[in-house]
Amino acid sequence: MDSPRILIIPGSARDGSLNRRLAAVAAATARAAGLQVTEMDLRALALPVYDGDLEAASGVPAGAHELRQAIATSDGVLIVTPEYNGFPTPLVINAFDWLSRIPPGDGQAGGLAATANKPAALLSASPGPLGALRSMNFLRQYLQMAFAMLVVPQQFALGRANEAFDGEGALKDARAAQSVEKVIAALATLARAMPTPR
């Protein structure tokens, strides 16, 4: 088969984001492992905060359809998110909430059909010592329970992330780099085992 297509989604709404930097490391790691990588900037989807009246008036915004298409044409999804007060960012949750509102139609699967049984993996980063670990636990539950995604057990939280990168954007700590490699390898193994039809 062709090499797995991995969609990488940073969860930060901030230029200079530590999680974007970790996502860049993950992308380079995935490419080095022979995977095809697409990166998606959730901010560029320009999704408003979920609004049922807006949905009733004008349907689900185009940005959510763009996210659905990117997920539907990937073999695996990697989300790299900060935590805000122990929880995944509103940018991530809002985008997936909108995605879940896309009904099937016009020969296209609905939002939840695009995520069902889709391999996924999680990374997180924070200047704090726990590296936003708590957010991944909530995000894992959210993606598994509501979106039927298959989130691999391997995950990695990069603590003290403000000190973790060298001038080239690489991780200074070899063990941290290996942890990212293990998460990518687990996602690639599952994506190879259950590729999305092309």
Residues that bind ligand FMN (CB under 6 A): 12, 14, 17-19, 82-86, 126-128, 132
Nearer to ligand FMN, 15 or 53 (CB): 15
Nearer to ligand FMN, 17 or 115 (CB): 17
Whether residue 187 contacts residue 76, with contact meaning beta carbons closer than 8 Å, is answered with yes
Nearer to ligand FMN, 14 or 172 (CB): 14
Q: How near is the Cβ of 26 to ligand FMN at its closest, in Å? A: 13
Nearer to ligand FMN, 47 or 92 (CB): 92
Q: How near is the Cβ of 129 to ligand FMN at its closest, in Å? A: 8
Nearer to ligand FMN, 20 or 118 (CB): 20
Q: What is the 3-state secondary structure (H, E, C) of the chain?
A: CCCCEEEEEECCCCCCCHHHHHHHHHHHHHHHCCCEEEECCHHHHCCCCCCHHHHHHHCCCHHHHHHHHHHHCCCEEEEEECEECCEECHHHHHHHHHHCCCCCECCECCHHHHHCCCEEEEEEECCCCCCCHHHHHHHHHHHHHCCCCEEEEEEEEECCHHHCECCCCCECCHHHHHHHHHHHHHHHHHHHHCCCCC
Q: How near is the Cβ of 185 to ligand FMN at its closest, in Å? A: 24
- Count of Cβ atoms closer than 10 Å to residue 23 Cβ: 26
Q: How near is the Cβ of 164 to ligand FMN at its closest, in Å? A: 11
Residue with the two structure tokens 């670990």: 133
Q: How near is the Cβ of 168 to ligand FMN at its closest, in Å? A: 18
Nearer to ligand FMN, 180 or 191 (CB): 180
Q: How near is the Cβ of 82 to ligand FMN at its closest, in Å? A: 3
